[in-house]
Structure 1
Amino acid sequence: MTAPARLLVDGRLTEASDGASYAVLNPATGREIGQAPDATADDVDAAIAAARRAFDETDWSTDVALRVRCLRQLHAALLEERESFEALTTAEVGMPGFMMVAAGFEVPVEGLRWVTDLAEGYAWETDLGVARPMGIPSRRTVRREPVGVVAAITPWNVPTQINLAKVGPALAAGCTVVLKPAPDTPWVAAELGRLAAERTDLPPGVLNVVTPRSDEVAARLTTDPRVDMVSFTGSTATGRAIMAAAAPTLKRVFLELGGKSAAIVLDDADLAAAAAATAFTACLHAGQGCAITTRLVVPRARYDEAVEVAAATMASIGAKDPTDPGAICGPVISQVQRDRVEAYLRLAEEEGGTFATGGHVIEQDGFWVEPTVVAGLDNTSRLAQEEIFGPVLVVIAHDGDDDAVRIANASAYGLSGSVESGSLERARAVAARIRTGTVAVNGGVWFSPDAPFGGYKQSGLGREMGVAGFEEYLETKTIAQPA
Structure 2
Amino acid sequence: MDHTDLYINGTWHKTADRFDVINPATEQVIASVASADIADANKALDAAAAAMADWAARTPRARSEVLRRAWELMTARLDDFAHLITLENGKASGDAKGEAAYAAEFFRWFAEEAVRADGMITHAPASGARIMVQHKPAGLAVLITPWNYPAAMGTRKIAPALAAGCGVIIKPASETPLTMLALMPLLEEAGVPPGLVNVLPSRKTGALVDHMLHDPRVRVVSFTGSTGVGRKLLKSAADQVLKPAMELGGNAPVIVFDDADMDIAIDGTMQAKMRNLGEACTAANRIYVHEAIAAEFTKRLTARMAALKVGDGTDSSVDVGPLVNADTRDKVAAFVADAVAKGAKVECGGVTPGGIGYFYPPTVLSGVPENADCVHDEIFGPVAAIQTFTDQDDVIRRANATEYGLVAYVFSGDFKRALQVCERLDYGMVGLNRGLVSDPAAPFGGTKQSGLGREGGHEGMLEFMETQYISASW
Match 1:116 to one of 103, 111, 121: 111
Residue 215 (str. 1) matches residue 212 (str. 2): no
Task: Map Cα deviations across residues 274-321 of structure 1 (whole Å, 9 max, x no partner).
Answer: 246424542232211111112110112443333333222211114232
Residue 471 (str. 1) matches residue 462 (str. 2): yes
d(CA) in 2 for partners of 1:114 and 1:251? 25
> How far off its partner does 1:114 sit?
1.4
Please give the secondary structure, in 2, of the residue aligned with 1:105.
Answer: helix
Task: Map Cα deviations across residues 142-165 of structure 1 (whole Å, 9 max, x no partner).
Answer: 010011100010001012111000
CA contact (8 A) 2:67 2:110 kept: no
Pick which of 93-102 and 27-36 moved more. Answer: 93-102
Query: Any stretches of 5+ residues in structure 1 without a counterpart?
Result: none
Please give the secondary structure, in 1, of the residue aligned with 2:151.
Answer: helix
Q: Map of 1:24-43 to 2, 5 A cutoff?
A: 24-43=21-40
Q: Map of 1:191-270 to 2, 5 A cutoff?
A: 191-197=182-188, 199-219=189-209, 220-270=211-261
Query: Any stretches of 5+ residues in structure 2 without a counterpart?
Result: none
Q: Map of 1:59-98 to 2, 5 A cutoff?
A: 59-98=55-94
Match 1:127 to one of 121, 124, 141: 121
> How far off its partner does 1:116 sit?
0.7
1:191 and 1:217, CA in 2 relative to 1: closer, same or farther beyond 3 A? farther
CA contact (8 A) 1:285 1:328 kept: no
Aligned length: 473
What residue in structure 2 maps to residue 5 of structure 1? 4
Q: Map of 1:241-390 to 2, 5 A cutoff?
A: 241-271=232-262, 274-275=265-266, 277-279=268-270, 281-390=272-381
Q: Map of 1:171-190 to 2, 5 A cutoff?
A: 171-190=162-181
- Of all paired residues, the percent bearing the same amino acid is 34
d(CA) in 2 for partners of 1:318 and 1:69? 42
Task: Map Cα deviations across residues 242-261 of structure 1 (whole Å, 9 max, x no partner).
Answer: 11111111111111011111
d(CA) in 2 for partners of 1:462 and 1:32? 37
> How far off its partner does 1:464 sit?
0.6
CA contact (8 A) 2:254 2:409 kept: yes
Pick which of 402-411 and 222-231 moved more. Answer: 222-231
d(CA) in 1 for partners of 2:208 and 2:361? 33
d(CA) in 2 for partners of 1:476 and 1:251? 14
What residue in structure 2 maps to residue 15 of structure 1? 14
d(CA) in 2 for partners of 1:335 and 1:223? 34
d(CA) in 2 for partners of 1:275 and 1:72? 37
Partner amino acid for 2:274? C
d(CA) in 1 for partners of 2:436 and 2:329? 30
1:474 and 1:203, CA in 2 relative to 1: closer, same or farther beyond 3 A? same
Residue 106 (str. 1) matches residue 101 (str. 2): yes
What residue in structure 2 maps to residue 58 of structure 1? 54
d(CA) in 1 for partners of 2:382 and 2:262? 21
Task: Map Cα deviations across residues 321-369 of structure 1 (whole Å, 9 max, x no partner).
Answer: 2123233321101122122222222222333323221112222211111
TM-score by length of 2: 0.94
> How far off its partner does 1:98 sit?
1.7
The CA RMSD over aligned residues, in Å, is 2.0
Partner amino acid for 1:108? A
CA contact (8 A) 1:61 1:146 kept: no
Task: Map Cα deviations across residues 94-143 of structure 1 (whole Å, 9 max, x no partner).
Answer: 122222453x11122122111111212x144322246552xxx5332101
d(CA) in 1 for partners of 2:436 and 2:263? 20
> How far off its partner does 1:35 sit?
1.9
1:101 and 1:86, CA in 2 relative to 1: closer, same or farther beyond 3 A? closer
1:405 and 1:131, CA in 2 relative to 1: closer, same or farther beyond 3 A? closer
> How far off its partner does 1:47 sit?
1.0
1:26 and 1:5, CA in 2 relative to 1: closer, same or farther beyond 3 A? same
Please give the secondary structure, in 2, of the residue aligned with 1:373.
Answer: strand
d(CA) in 2 for partners of 1:22 and 1:419? 43
> How far off its partner does 1:188 sit?
0.4
CA contact (8 A) 2:24 2:323 kept: yes
Please give the secondary structure, in 2, of the residue aligned with 1:450.
Answer: coil
CA contact (8 A) 1:267 1:400 kept: no
CA contact (8 A) 2:5 2:34 kept: yes
Partner amino acid for 2:85? T
d(CA) in 2 for partners of 1:82 and 1:209? 21
Task: Map Cα deviations across residues 394-439 of structure 1 (whole Å, 9 max, x no partner).
Answer: 1111122212211211111111121111222222221221111221
Partner amino acid for 1:6? D
d(CA) in 1 for partners of 2:304 and 2:119? 53
d(CA) in 1 for partners of 2:119 and 2:356? 57
1:145 and 1:344, CA in 2 relative to 1: closer, same or farther beyond 3 A? same
What residue in structure 2 maps to residue 453 of structure 1? 444
> How far off its partner does 1:236 sit?
0.8
CA contact (8 A) 2:278 2:284 kept: no
d(CA) in 1 for partners of 2:113 and 2:94? 29
Please give the secondary structure, in 2, of the residue aligned with 1:331.
Answer: coil
CA contact (8 A) 2:55 2:165 kept: no
> How far off its partner does 1:202 sit?
2.3
1:260 and 1:480, CA in 2 relative to 1: closer, same or farther beyond 3 A? same
Pick which of 207-216 and 443-452 moved more. Answer: 443-452
Please give the secondary structure, in 1, of the residue aligned with 2:114.
Answer: helix
1:139 and 1:422, CA in 2 relative to 1: closer, same or farther beyond 3 A? closer
d(CA) in 2 for partners of 1:13 and 1:154? 20
1:238 and 1:123, CA in 2 relative to 1: closer, same or farther beyond 3 A? closer
> How far off its partner does 1:209 sit?
0.7
d(CA) in 2 for partners of 1:58 and 1:421? 52
